[in-house]
């Protein structure tokens, strides 16, 4: 049913500017108070519109409202803005739409494990369509912080540790949100966050200090943001954190020198939640007035939730500490986005023009995404896939086997767990009429230490052909402010595995989690491990299809798994030290003779109490198929600067059924004016192959893709020798060399 709006509102809309030139004229007609109002975002999540919010909108003192998702209320907020304020400027309606709205997809880190830009784009597009049904027109995603510390709770919201993978998938996500053009029904504005370095907080603690040398910042942490800016992301968000002594929300070098001047970014920047007034907490400003000055001077165009702009910008203008041109620049960008979204032509939402949320197509795409995101880490003796026809009894054990809420993951404000399909339900449906199932929760929650129900779980496993253990982390254990010092399986889950292992029944372990976990001690006790992240609404059917061979695992790790927390940070693109870790140099502490002289140790960059390698490397993931890489070929052994290298390899599916493989291209620049990583991902492709089929997989690698920031912070490609790998993981694949020479 179409919505009916007052004629006065329609008349008011028709008189609004419809071109950028008219926006400039509108800006010229605004009072200072109205301009500062456009720079202010209010929190609107109440049972009804508060009189304070309504009055502020009528006075033109609100540019955006955050976290209102009731359609009638949102349309009323827009009516107040366009009909009852002096200039009738519509509102931006913001919401954290991170990995779904009503239909919940795998957490972003899980989506990154798909290594599939098309899948990520589809998930974001559906998220936008569903969010738009409630009047939302702005989301605070994608989060493209490089994340190399699994203790950090927000690694769940990230796209992993690698600048190239994060850049490609981040662009795919923002394109999914924003669509072909922002004013198309169902498109919403995206926001690249958190600018910048937020993922590198000390000790993996949220909001913590970050210290990142400029060269590292430019080569590792900034590339995804540059890619988002180049792709036309509508907005940026400043980080909570202090970067090298200057908090991001007051960092003029980041917001003005890099983002606006160097990158020529034309969109606007919003602060994170109250991060402007938190400049005072940082000790960067003496009070909220000073904080408002620092943020405005840095280039923060809109303040989220707190009111330092409303409270203090008029006085700062009067005192001459800031000038009106700074205000005008910010407001013009905000108005520009509202015009691009088509809000001046129609600020209202008619949900009947959009697909019904959680329809069958949305659910199917959620299932497909969950299938692609799951990573098979272990599969001894090819225990997977299970054959339903050859099983008599299956034990299904664990607190996450039938918990529709926990499988959704972090930051799912609008997801409804009533619609989740769990592992237990899906597996029981798969085995109906074929094998008996016995479900034992065993542990009340993932954090519980109560072993009261272990006996029932042991008896169930002992009587079964296979024990399916569905374990991991509850969703609340990852996400913002949910950081962990120890990242093993929480509670008494490992003790449960020990108890079940003693029955002799083979264990297939499915892990749902928001981060990599340290599961080294668990691996010898289980026959298979399927890492499912938090898979979302359709996690159960996706996992069941993988367990029983209706689909084959194809996910690859977007982040390195450490053996122990003490290895953190550990990531594939590390640099050689002067004494790099090698097998020959490695000595475990238990093998060192008593009273050994110091020179008996390997004198290498290793720990004494664990191997220097990760538990599972970046890019790793098993399949039910075997994929063979052969005949790596390079079009040139010597290239001039500006030329392109064609790289190809023959990929064969040696298995007996269809499968998908993610071919990954890595390089190493052997000598640079600054030290270079031992490997860098430069490209990847998801390849579909029938049983026994072969295909040449080809990549085009221009010398521009080998550029990096040198010691003078200039982006350059340097001549020299390079190694190249093409395989299914950062640690495998045929290798060759080439050289770049000056033109």
CB atoms within 10 A of CB 12: 19
Give me the catalytic one of 149, 242, 272, 290. 272
Q: Is 498 exposed, middle or buried (0-12, 13-18, 19+ CB in 10 A)?
A: middle
Q: Is 520 exposed, middle or buried (0-12, 13-18, 19+ CB in 10 A)?
A: middle
Q: Would you place residue 3 in the very low, low, confident or very high pLDDT band (cuts 50, 70, 90)?
A: very low
> How far is Cα 627 from Cα 655, in angstroms, rounded to an integer?
8
> How far is Cα 39 from Cα 300, in angstroms, rounded to an integer?
9
CA distances to 255, 269, 293, 518 from 289, in Å: 20, 19, 6, 46
Indicate the helix (H) or strand (E) that contains 377.
Answer: strand 375-379
Listed residue (286, 305, 310, 392) closest to 296, CA to CA: 310
**Residue 217 · residue 196 · CB < 8 Å:** yes
Average pLDDT over residues 531-538: 98
What's the whole-number average pLDDT of the chain? 95
Indicate the helix (H) or strand (E) that contains 278.
Answer: helix 278-282
> How far is Cα 353 from Cα 523, in angstroms, rounded to an integer?
51
Q: Would you place residue 11 in the very low, low, confident or very high pLDDT band (cuts 50, 70, 90)?
A: very low
Give the pLDDT confidence score for residue 21 in this predicted structure. Answer: 84
Average pLDDT over residues 334-353: 97
**Residue 624 · residue 657 · CB < 8 Å:** yes
Cα–chain center distance at 301? 24
Q: Where in the chain is the domain with CATH 2.60.40.10?
A: 627-741
Fold designation for 627-741: Immunoglobulin-like (2.60.40)
> How far is Cα 371 from Cα 482, in angstroms, rounded to an integer?
26
Give the pLDDT confidence score for residue 585 in this predicted structure. Answer: 86
CA distances to 345, 640, 713 from 178, in Å: 18, 39, 32
Supply φ then ψ for residue 7, to 5 degrees.
Answer: -60, -35
> How far is Cα 177 from Cα 564, in angstroms, rounded to an integer?
37
Residue 654 has pLDDT above 60, yes or no: yes
Give the pLDDT confidence score for residue 702 in this predicted structure. Answer: 98
Residue 16 has pLDDT above 70, yes or no: no
Q: Where in the chain is the domain with CATH 3.40.50.1700?
A: 96-137+352-572
Query: Side by side, which strands form the sheet with 138-139?
Result: 138-139, 92-95, 64-66, 40-43, 303-304
Which two tokens mark 578?
């002067």
Supply φ then ψ for residue 470, to 5 degrees.
Answer: -110, 100
- Tell me whether residue 272 is one of the annotated catalytic residues: yes
Q: Would you place residue 596 in the very low, low, confident or very high pLDDT band (cuts 50, 70, 90)?
A: confident
- Taken as a whole, the chain contains a residue count of 743
Q: Would you place residue 31 in the very low, low, confident or very high pLDDT band (cuts 50, 70, 90)?
A: very high
pLDDT in tens, 275-303: 999 999 999 999 999 999 999 999 999 99
Listed residue (442, 457, 436) closest to 505, CA to CA: 457
CA distances to 243, 351, 552, 692 from 688, in Å: 43, 38, 11, 12
Average pLDDT over residues 210-225: 98
Give the pLDDT confidence score for residue 317 in this predicted structure. Answer: 98
pLDDT in tens, 637-648: 999 999 999 999
Residue 189 has pLDDT above 70, yes or no: yes
**Residue 422 · residue 494 · CB < 8 Å:** no
Three-state SS for 525? Answer: helix
Assign domain 96-137+352-572 to its CATH superfamily.
Answer: Glycoside hydrolase family 3 C-terminal domain (3.40.50.1700)
Query: Side by side, which strands form the sheet with 720-727?
Result: 638-640, 735-741, 720-727, 659-669, 680-689
């Amino acid at each position: 049913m179409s919505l009916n709006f007052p004629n006065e509102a329609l008349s008011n809309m028709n008189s609004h500017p419809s071109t950028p030139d008219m926006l400039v004229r509108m800006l010229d007609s605004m009072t200072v108070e109205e301009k500062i109002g456009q720079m202010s975002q209010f929190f609107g999540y109440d049972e009804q519109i508060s009189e304070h919010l309504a009055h502020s909108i009528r006075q033109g003192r609100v540019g955006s409202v955050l976290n209102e998702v009731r359609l009638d209320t949102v349309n009323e907020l827009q009516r107040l803005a366009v009909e009852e304020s002096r200039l009738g400027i519509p509102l931006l309606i913001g919401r954290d739409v991170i990995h779904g709205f009503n239909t919940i997809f795998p957490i972003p880190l899980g989506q990154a494990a798909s290594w599939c830009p098309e899948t990520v784009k589809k998930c974001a597009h559906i998220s936008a369509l569903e969010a738009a049904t409630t009047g939302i027109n702005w989301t605070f995603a994608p989060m493209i912080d490089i994340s190399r510390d699994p203790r950090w709770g927000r690694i769940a919201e990230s796209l992993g540790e690698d600048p190239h993978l994060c850049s490609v998938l981040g662009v795919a996500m923002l394109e999914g949100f924003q669509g072909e053009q922002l004013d198309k029904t169902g498109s919403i504005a995206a926001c690249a966050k958190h600018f910048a370095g937020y993922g590198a907080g000390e000790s993996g603690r949220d909001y913590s200090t970050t210290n990142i040398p400029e060269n590292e910042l430019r080569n590792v942490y900034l590339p995804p943001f540059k890619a988002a800016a180049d792709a036309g992301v509508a907005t940026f968000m400043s980080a909570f954190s202090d970067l090298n002594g200057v908090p991001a929300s007051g960092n003029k070098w980041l917001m003005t020198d890099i983002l606006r001047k160097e990158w020529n970014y034309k969109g606007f920047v919003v602060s994170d939640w109250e991060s402007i007034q938190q400049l005072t907490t940082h000790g960067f400003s003496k009070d909220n007035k000073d904080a408002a000055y620092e943020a405005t001077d840095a280039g923060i165009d809109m303040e989220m939730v707190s009111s330092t702009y409303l409270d203090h910008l008029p006085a700062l203008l009067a005192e001459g500490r800031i000038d009106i041109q700074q205000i005008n620049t910010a407001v013009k960008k905000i108005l520009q986005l509202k015009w691009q979204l088509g809000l001046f032509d129609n600020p209202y939402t008619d949900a009947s023009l959009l697909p019904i949320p959680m329809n069958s197509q949305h659910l199917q795409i959620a299932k497909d995404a969950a299938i692609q995101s799951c990573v098979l880490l272990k599969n001894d003796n090819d225990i997977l896939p299970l054959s339903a026809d050859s099983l008599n009894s299956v034990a299904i054990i664990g607190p996450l086997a039938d918990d529709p809420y926990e499988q959704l993951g972090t930051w799912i404000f609008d997801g409804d767990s009533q619609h989740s399909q769990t592992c237990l339900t899906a597996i029981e449906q798969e085995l109906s009429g074929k094998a008996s199932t016995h479900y034992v929760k065993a542990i009340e929650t993932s954090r519980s230490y109560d072993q009261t129900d272990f006996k029932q779980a042991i008896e169930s496993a002992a009587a079964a052909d296979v024990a399916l253990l569905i374990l991991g982390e509850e969703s609340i254990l990852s996400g913002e402010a949910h950081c962990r010092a120890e990242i093993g399986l929480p509670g008494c889950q490992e003790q449960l595995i020990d108890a079940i292992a003693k029955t002799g029944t083979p264990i297939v372990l499915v892990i749902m989690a928001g981060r990599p976990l340290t599961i080294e001690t668990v691996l010898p006790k289980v026959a298979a491990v399927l890492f499912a992240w938090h898979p979302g609404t359709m996690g159960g059917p996706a996992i069941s299809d993988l367990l029983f061979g209706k689909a084959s695992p194809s996910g690859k790790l977007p982040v390195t798994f450490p053996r122990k927390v003490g290895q953190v940070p550990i990531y594939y693109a590390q640099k050689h030290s002067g004494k790099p870790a090698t097998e020959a140099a490695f000595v475990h502490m238990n093998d060192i003779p008593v009273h050994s002289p110091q020179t008996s140790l390997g004198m290498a960059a290793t720990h004494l109490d664990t191997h220097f390698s990760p538990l599972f490397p970046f890019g790793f993931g098993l399949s039910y198929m075997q994929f063979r890489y052969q005949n790596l070929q390079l079009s040139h052994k010597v290239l001039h600067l500006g030329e392109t290298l064609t790289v190809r390899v023959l990929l064969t599916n040696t298995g007996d059924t269809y499968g998908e493989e993610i071919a990954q291209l890595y390089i190493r620049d052997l000598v640079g004016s600054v030290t270079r990583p031992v490997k860098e991902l430069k490209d990847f492709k998801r390849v579909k192959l029938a049983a026994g089929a072969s295909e040449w997989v080809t990549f085009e690698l221009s010398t521009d893709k080998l550029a990096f920031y040198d010691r003078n912070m200039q982006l350059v490609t340097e001549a020299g020798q390079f190694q190249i790998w093409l395989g299914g993981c950062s640690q495998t694949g045929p290798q060759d060399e080439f050289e770049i020479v000056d033109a």
